[in-house]
Amino acid sequence: MKRNKLIHRKLIEVYPEFPNDIPLLLQRIYASRGITHTQELDYTTRNLCNYDKLNGIEKAVEILYLAMKNNQQIMIVGDFDTDGATSTALTIKALKNMGCQFVDYIIPDRFNDGYGLSVSVVKKAILKKAQLIITVDNGISAIEAVDFAKQANLSVIITDHHLCPEQLPNADAIINPNLPNCDFPSKHLAGVGVAFYFMSALRAKLRKENWFTDNNLTEYNITNLLDLVALGTIADVVRLDHNNRILVYQGVNRIRAGYCSEGIKALLQIAKKDPTSITSTDLAFYIAPRLNAAGRMDNMTLGVELLLCDNYDLAISKATDLDNLNSDRKLIEQTMHKEALSFIEEIEKQSTAIPNFLVFYHPQWHQGIIGILSARLKDKYYRPVISFASTQDGFLKGSGRSIKGLHLRDFIDKLNQQHPDLIVSFGGHAMAVGLTIREEDLERFKSSIEALSDKQLPPNLLEQIIETDGEIDSQDFTYAIAKQVKESGPWGEGFSTPIFDGEFIIHRQQLLAEKHLKLVLEPKNGGPLIEGIFFNVNRQQWPDQSIKNVKIVYHLDVNEFRGNQSPNLIIKHLWPIA
């Protein structure tokens, strides 16, 4: 069944004057991303927002300082994704390096505890003699858990970045840039970014109190934590505003220079990535998935322990374990993906169109992988998708992913208002949700959400618009330009990796590893021959030696193999043309 895909080229509203040493192609890329002044490309740490703008941070620092001074047992409660793992490891590292004697952590079990601070997690903290709980990357909705902790005479500091509910927990202090009365300029910090600012403010407090001198300690260099900040920020796909770009840029540069945790070094080694040329994109595609595998397949404690490890050989062993888990995850995901595609095939046999909203369930599906599955299916069919897995107790847990223009959390809220007995619980944001329903309500949920989507989703919303940076002039197909574009990020959410379109003549096409299409191309309007690769190509259509002209959408990359350096095209979309 044909999917609608439209190419729109980014419009440039303001074309500022850039220095002559920035190539015109890169100037165009920056301008289309809203850069209006070269200061927005200055990624030195002096341009970071100051922590004192974070509402609640002064109170939180005072509580933590007194806890350290009085040798209280501090418990960090993290989350089971990469942002949660890096936030936890960062806070533990910072506190220990600043002289905290009694600090431990808990990562909730995805399958038993659920997300974030819960009553069951507080009970675990009590068993570990905790006196102060600090959440990282979670807690802003943990009303019941915080009340339970307070009844047990525990102090609670919440650090989070998720959007705030109308009712806030009764914590002793809350740090969240998205609090209604918070003046912090960057509203897009990841959880690890909030933790970094908290630890920065704590260090300033300790300096003011002569803590380091009195305890015979060397003042801790807080920039040592920026490798973790970069990894967590990229992995959580938060918007790369100027402040986040500074954090990621600085962290990536520290990794390139070798000033990073042994755990990240080990993950790079396992992934066969050269740390001296690592980019934010590499963190997203090679490092974060391996770390996330711990939370999806087992427990993210494995990931936190790797990030805290200070012995390289031990880190390699732990990273190998995570790599094995990630391989298992891939195999399970492939099976689930095939099963979902078979469901679609059955739908297409019975109808000329697939539903506007796709809902999938299989009793054998893995809870930790349904989010990835929904994302893959959303990309393939350009429909909002929810995939469900069984909890074995009569409930189904679902994970949803949305398309541009549909706020998925609000959409589920509207469904909940129409059918208040249908959804047990839900939460999320514009592009992703998690929810729980009763197993016997699956068909009713499916029919209800399809009916709502038929009413609420206009047809043009389901047309995939591929926004590109336009064509590349033939003289810009050089290794130097390609390398400069690749390294001129950091690229990521809200500051997207440059992507181009154009028409090309095929000189050669061949299949690699039975699934990837390698092409030798020439720009239709003239230019050098250039290699391109389309990963996981449709084998029913390609290779096809009869096709000589194509339109492609692609990333400009570099190929460095056995001393040879050349530009390379990573093809994302490919269409034959006459």
Q: What is the pLDDT of residue 288?
A: 96
- Name beta bridge partners: 361: 388
Q: What is the DSSP string of 267-318?
A: HHHHTT--GGG--HHHIIIIIHHHHHHHHHHS-THHHHHHHH---HHHHHHH
pLDDT in tens, 396-433: 999 999 998 999 989 999 999 999 999 998 887 788 88
What are the angstrom distances between the C-alpha of 85 and each of 82, 154, 437? 5, 23, 28
Select the CATH number that applies to the domain covering 353-462 from these four: 3.30.590.10, 3.30.1330.100, 3.10.310.30, 3.40.50.1360.
3.10.310.30
In this model, does residue 117 exceed pLDDT 90? Answer: yes
**In this structure, how many other beta carbons lie within 10 angstroms of the beta carbon of residue 154?**
19
Across the beta sheet with 432-438, what order do the strands follow? Answer: 358-361, 385-390, 395-401, 432-438, 423-428
Q: At what angle do helices 288-297 and 301-308 cross, to 10 degrees?
A: 140
**Is the confidence at residue 2, as pLDDT, over 50?**
no
Identify the pLDDT of residue 429. 78
Condensed to tens digits (0 to 9), the pLDDT of residues 510-551 reads 999 999 999 999 999 899 999 999 999 988 899 999 999 999
Q: Where in the chain is the domain with CATH 3.10.310.30?
A: 353-462
SS3 breakdown of the chain: % helix, strand, coil, rounded to 5?
A: 45, 20, 35
| Per-residue pLDDT reduced to its tens digit, 252-277 | 999 999 999 999 999 999 999 999 99
pLDDT at 123 > cutoff 90: yes
pTM over 0.85: yes
CATH of region 45-321, choose from 3.10.450.50, 3.90.1640.30, 2.40.30.10, 3.90.226.10 = 3.90.1640.30
pLDDT at residue 3 is higher than 70: no
Give span(s): CATH 2.40.50.460, the chain.
5-12+466-576
Q: Look at residue 104 in the predicted model and tell me its pLDDT.
A: 97
Backbone angles phi, psi at 421, to 5 degrees: -100, 5
Report the Cα 326 to chain-centroid distance in Å: 16
Q: Give the number of other Cβ atoms within 10 Å of residue 55's Cβ.
A: 18
Cα distance between residue 392 and residue 217, in whole Å: 52
Per residue in 196-225, pLDDT (tens digit) is: 999 999 999 999 999 999 999 999 999 999
Mean pLDDT of 124-148: 96
Query: Above 60 in pLDDT, residue 436?
Result: yes
Is the pLDDT assigned to residue 53 strictly greater than 80? Answer: yes
Q: How many CB atoms lie under 10 A from the CB of residue 8?
A: 10
For the stretch 163-178, pLDDT in tens is 888 899 999 999 999 9
Pairing outcome for strands 155-159 and 132-136: parallel
How far is it, in rounded angstroms, from Cα 3 to Cα 319? 40
- Beta carbons within 8 Å of 121's beta carbon, 6+ residues apart: 77, 106, 108, 113, 145
Q: How confident is the model at residue 1 (pLDDT cuts 50, 70, 90)?
A: very low
Q: Which fold has domain 5-12+466-576?
A: OB fold (Dihydrolipoamide Acetyltransferase, E2P) (2.40.50)
User: Picking from 129-133, 204-208, 328-332, 457-461, which range would have the lowest pLDDT averaged per residue?
Assistant: 457-461
Alpha helices in 408-441 (DSSP H): 408-418
Question: Helix, strand, or coil here: 435?
Answer: strand
Confidence tier at 4 by pLDDT (50, 70, 90): low
Residue ranges of the chain assigned to CATH 3.90.1640.30: 45-321
